């Protein structure tokens, strides 16, 4: 289990709605992206949001503009990232080049330099915790017949996965050597149930996580009282999962609600692990 604590008594956290007087500001980087744009409306009910985008004039950014304070920034600009992190309690770091076939030159700016800058800026601004998006691609080099645990060594199957291994390692360094609490989530195939079914690819069932399940996991990570560092696998309650989520259940109290296999079967499509 890749977890370290501030205190010796880790307890799962409850995720009931926070009292408005206790709401603490949350920065979401990549707020207009695939994951950010789906989680922001849910998280806006719990936290005052600062939404970081590249260009606030873009249509994707305008879709989330009314959910919080919109700011423009590039991950490669450390000074600007420090300004963006000022006054923030927690950061949900989603911004990155998301392409699994991206060349190293494309990944370097956002996924390597930008990842470090985000953590360094959060540390400098006195942020309490960073929850960052790692990926199933950090361990996609393992056989599909093997269920990967959170403590298994990283084994990326592409350079995008390599960049997520860097993210996990940098997060651990910042947590244990620099004192910034960091939690990395190995996020699987993120789609709404409707999009999952529309794609019709039953081979994706064992890698899926739904928006409401990822929202729950993010909330539990933000609110856990004593985690210093952790890597958690983030998938839904699928009948079979490529990644083992027992640590997520045990430490966070994560209780996912959705099952891709059941969705496909209800839609008349048989699925085999």
Provide the whole-model pTM. Answer: 0.93
Distance of CA 116 to the CA centre of its chain: 16
pLDDT tens for each residue of 237-268: 999 999 999 999 999 999 999 999 999 999 88
Q: How many residues does the chain have?
A: 273
Q: How are strands ordered across the β-sheet holding 181-187?
A: 3-5, 227-234, 181-187, 129-135, 90-93, 26-29, 49-53, 68-72
Listed by start position, the domains of the chain span: 3-266
Fold of 3-266: Rossmann fold (3.40.50)
CA distance 112 to 116: 6
pLDDT tens for each residue of 28-75: 999 999 999 999 999 999 999 999 999 999 999 999 999 999 999 999
């Amino acid at each position: 289990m890749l977890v370290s604590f501030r205190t010796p008594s880790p307890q799962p956290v409850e995720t009931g709605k926070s009292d408005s007087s206790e709401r603490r500001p949350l920065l979401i980087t990549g707020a207009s992206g695939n994951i950010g744009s789906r989680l922001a409306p849910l998280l806006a009910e719990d936290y005052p949001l600062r939404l970081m985008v590249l260009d606030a004039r873009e249509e994707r950014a305008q879709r989330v503009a009314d959910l919080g304070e919109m700011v423009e920034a590039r991950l490669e600009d450390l000074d600007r990232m420090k300004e963006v992190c000022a006054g923030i309690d927690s950061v949900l770091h989603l911004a990155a080049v998301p392409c699994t076939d991206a060349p190293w030159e494309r990944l370097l700016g956002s996924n390597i330099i930008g990842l470090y800058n985000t953590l360094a800026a959060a540390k400098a601004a006195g942020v309490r915790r960073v929850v960052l998006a790692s990926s199933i691609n950090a361990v996609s080099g393992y056989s599909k017949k093997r269920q990967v645990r959170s403590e298994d060594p990283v084994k990326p199957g592409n350079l995008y996965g390599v960049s997520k291994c860097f993210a996990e390692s940098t997060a651990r360094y910042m947590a244990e050597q620099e004192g910034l609490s960091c939690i990395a989530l190995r996020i699987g195939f993120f789609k709404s149930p409707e999009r999952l079914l529309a794609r019709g690819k039953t081979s994706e069932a064992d890698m899926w996580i739904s928006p409401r399940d990822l929202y729950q996991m993010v909330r539990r990570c933000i609110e856990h009282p004593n985690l210093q560092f952790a890597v958690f696998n983030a998938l839904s309650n699928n009948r079979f999962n490529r990644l083992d989520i027992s640590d997520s259940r045990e430490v966070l109290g994560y209780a996912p609600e959705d099952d891709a296999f059941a969705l496909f079967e209800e839609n008349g499509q048989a699925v085999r692990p």
